[in-house]
Structure 1
Amino acid sequence: MTLAGLTLPHLSEFDPPVAGEGSLDPMGVGPVSERLADLLVPGFRARMSQFRLLTAIAVASAICEDVDPDLSADGRTTPQIAFEWMTLEAFANQAAADHPLRGVPGLQKARVTRGRGERLSANSYLKGPKVFGFHGVYKPLATEFGIIDTRFDAGPLRDELLVAWETDNDLEGFVSRQTGTYGQKVRERLTNALRKSLSNKHSELPPTGEVARCIAGTLHPDLAGPNERAVLRTALHAAYPLRSELAHLMADRADSALSEKDFVEWLLPQASPDLRHILQAIDAYEQFARILDVSFRTLCHVSGSMSPSVITPDGVSNQPNLVRAALELPSSHRDALRRLTELGIGVPELEGRFAPFATAMAPRDLVVVLLQHHQAIQTAKPPLGKRPWFEPYKGGVTIRPGYKERALPAYDGSYIHPVRIFALASFLWGLEP
């Protein structure tokens, strides 16, 4: 059937305050997925993969407590960020070819800077170090575990973790600062190097010296000792029973090649009712999100593969992906809404933003609704809105350069959003007994 009153989106003339391209999440399905992932694996983020950096944060906290942040000569570098400079330079210079480094925020910058014969500084490090450095990435979990507090001061677990670390690495005296011990000497040298780094506006830890080699070896992301691993595993299970249950269920399959979608399917029969409700809601919502994403990206593919690239609702109404989406979206929307209602999240979005997709409609009308929805999503993106991917042209719309889809999107595949199962699997794999 045809829905009355639907017209192609009308784009006004270019308005300079609307900034940027808005190339992420064209259908606005990401925020609900993020909240579901927060329920499933709280504290974790999809980009976390090297959980031994939690110990590096603990070491940094101990060193930074003896350093005055007012020493920062560039006026923007915190002691924590300067510690990252020193640690990443040590990693970049380490020569353990049998244990290659991967997944360490900022490491590529350190390698590039080293290749130029320079030292890490505010100008050569990450542009947003407080967000994208390893303190920024891992701070939420370090805070939840009690390693640090929100100001990076010592949390209740910090010294226990450091004692485990120093025991595993023959660094006794680091925590107690007992005079004459090797751990105390390493701590003192790190503290002095940090003070000099802040004052001189670049890393001052000798890159091939004894302390740099010590840091590279004792904080290598893949080489945690047994005592340290035990402390971090215990912290994982302390706060959230459902996350702990998920970790126990996954423990024997953490190294599996399963996709996150397949993992959910495998977990469902074994999960408790509360955990099962979250898994079912994730699965239902990701199915709805995939249909929306595939249908929109199908328009991007069709427009980009045509010459001229103009598409109209009638002209693409027989496209199989769009025909399937028109049939499946209403029931998928109902299922997602039902599952999310059980959890009490995402309901305003499903009943508001995504409400048009709950109604049965013909494929040509779905095209109109998809384009209208996309324009609304882009317009609402902070701070001042983003440009849509399509623009009016010769009685239809055409895909803008840079947004063409080379291949026709497929309905089969894993979830379109990371639900952090892989992040938890990395934690379990890296810290197994």
Structure 2
Amino acid sequence: MARIALSAVVVQEFSQLRSTDGTTRADIVLEWNVLESMVRHQRDELKLIPFPGSSKTARALAGGGRLSPTTYLRGPRVFGFTGVYRPYCVDTGVLDTHGDPGEAARDLVEAWEQDRDLYGFLHYDLSTEGGQLRRWIAISVESSLRAGESRVEKHTARAKELAQIVSTVGEGPRVRALLRAQLFETSHVLRKEAVELIDQLPATTDGAPDRSVAEAIRPGASDELARVLDAVTRFERLAVTMDNCFRSTLSTFRLITPEAIATDELLRDGASSIRRCADEAIAAVAAIDQIGTELSERVAELVAPVREATGPVQFFDGLVNRHLAVQQAKGKSPWITDLEEGWVPRQLYREQPEPRDVDGWMHPYRLSTLYSFVEGTR
């Protein structure tokens, strides 16, 4: 959140500008500049604590390129090193609904100034070191916007300072205390409860995946939060079952025929359990307060092509139909080709990962992000 606050303060003067692609906004352009600086000047630190986007950046720089819409991101909504925190930032007043800095952002930047003795950054006072730093960052953002790719200086004291600032922005005592207060003051009832429960968990150095956090806070959860966690668990079991069966078939067979499908153990198991998994997921989602009915209808629609499957052949046909509908909606080609003698996986999609644990989660729910956030403010 502190990074988003700094970014929002800097880029607010460029809120109406877009890069040469007509889409990319100034906050993403600042991410280009920050990540390039970090990969160049914080390489050892990134090996110990991977930073979202650093691997993509390293690949671009290794090829002699710069970050741009084609090598990084166009929109900051859910990805990048700040995207996952955006809904929370709007909830706490760090950002308004347009992405401009709110009062909470100004409070965070002011606390950061005091932690680092960089006064003048918030009020853009060019007679101060903080004001001069902000001006340098703003110039880099504007030049990158107009060039359509990162134009941050590569090897300068300022670039090194930018990398160091971003990697340590939440470490000062004033910022950490303010972030912690904002965590517990959120108006989102379930998120606040999750934060309070996570805060009671033992600290770990390796973080925790979403599923582990959910399992840890479930015993102390209210009825409403428990229903949400149970719905996620049931839905993920359904999603993993479908995903495992489809991907495994692509990697197992070069020609997918009814005869081959009928003897595949994973598909047989999936066909025998899919209706139970589907019904449990639909019921669990329907039990969520307020939005459960709407979400359960969407889950029912998702699973409709496979729910009534009576065997592995029908089950796989349903998975294919679902896949074709998804790819068509995306405007993309399917992963398999329909030939007279059967389905043939396209070469690009024949190598698939090993099947997940059926109790694993394949979609992000940001509980691990929230856990890391709480840990960082202790």
* Range of TM-score over shorter length: 0.7 to 0.9
Q: Which has the higher contact order (CA 8 A, sep 6+)?
A: 1
Residue 51 of structure 1 is matched in structure 2 by: none
The structure 2 residue matched to 1:341, chosen from 269, 286, 299, is: 286
| Aligned 1:120-269 pairs, distance under 5 A | 120=66, 122=68, 126=72, 128=74, 130=76, 133-134=80-81, 138-178=85-125, 180-198=127-145, 205-220=152-167, 224-237=171-184, 238-251=186-199, 252-253=201-202, 255=204, 259-269=209-219
Distance 2:261 2:20 in 1: 61
Task: Say which SS state the counterpart of residue 239 (structure 1) adopts.
Answer: coil
Residue 250 of structure 2 is matched in structure 1 by: 300
Contact 1:300 1:399 (C-alpha < 8 Å) held by counterparts: yes
Query: What TM-score does the superposition give when structure 1 sets the normalisation length?
Result: 0.70
Residue 262 of structure 2 is matched in structure 1 by: 317
**Is the radius of gyration larger for structure 1 or structure 2?**
1
Q: Which amino acid aligns with 2:249?
A: L
Aligned length: 368
Contact 1:109 1:124 (C-alpha < 8 Å) held by counterparts: no
Contact 2:230 2:284 (C-alpha < 8 Å) held by counterparts: yes
Quickly say closer, same or farther: Cα 1:326–1:206, change in 2 above 3 A: closer
Q: Which amino acid aligns with 1:246?
A: A
The structure 1 residue matched to 2:329, chosen from 365, 374, 382, is: 382
Between the aligned residues of both structures, percent identity stands at 23
Contact 2:24 2:74 (C-alpha < 8 Å) held by counterparts: no
**How far 1:383 sits from its partner (Å)?**
4.3
Task: Say which SS state the counterpart of residue 128 (structure 1) adopts.
Answer: coil
The structure 2 residue matched to 1:418, chosen from 347, 364, 378, is: 364
**How far 1:155 sits from its partner (Å)?**
1.2
Distance 1:202 1:275 in 2: 43
Residue 39 of structure 2 is matched in structure 1 by: 92
Alignment partner of 1:402 is 2:348: yes
Distance 1:355 1:77 in 2: 38
Q: Which amino acid aligns with 1:295?
A: C
- Identify the structure with the greater helix proportion: 2
Contact 1:286 1:416 (C-alpha < 8 Å) held by counterparts: yes
Task: Say which SS state the counterpart of residue 329 (structure 2) adopts.
Answer: coil
The structure 2 residue matched to 1:271, chosen from 216, 221, 227, is: 221
Runs of 5+ unmatched residues, structure 2? none
Q: Which moved more, 1:137-146 or 1:240-249?
A: 137-146
The structure 1 residue matched to 2:273, chosen from 321, 324, 328, is: 328
Contact 1:280 1:339 (C-alpha < 8 Å) held by counterparts: yes
Q: Which amino acid aligns with 2:105?
A: R
Q: Which amino acid aligns with 1:400?
A: R
Quickly say closer, same or farther: Cα 1:111–1:391, change in 2 above 3 A: closer
Task: Say which SS state the counterpart of residue 329 (structure 1) adopts.
Answer: helix
The structure 2 residue matched to 1:392, chosen from 332, 339, 352, is: 339
Residue 103 of structure 1 is matched in structure 2 by: 51
Task: Say which SS state the counterpart of residue 382 (structure 1) adopts.
Answer: helix
Contact 1:147 1:157 (C-alpha < 8 Å) held by counterparts: yes
Query: What TM-score does the superposition give when structure 2 sets the normalisation length?
Result: 0.79
Runs of 5+ unmatched residues, structure 1? 1-53
Distance 1:180 1:157 in 2: 25
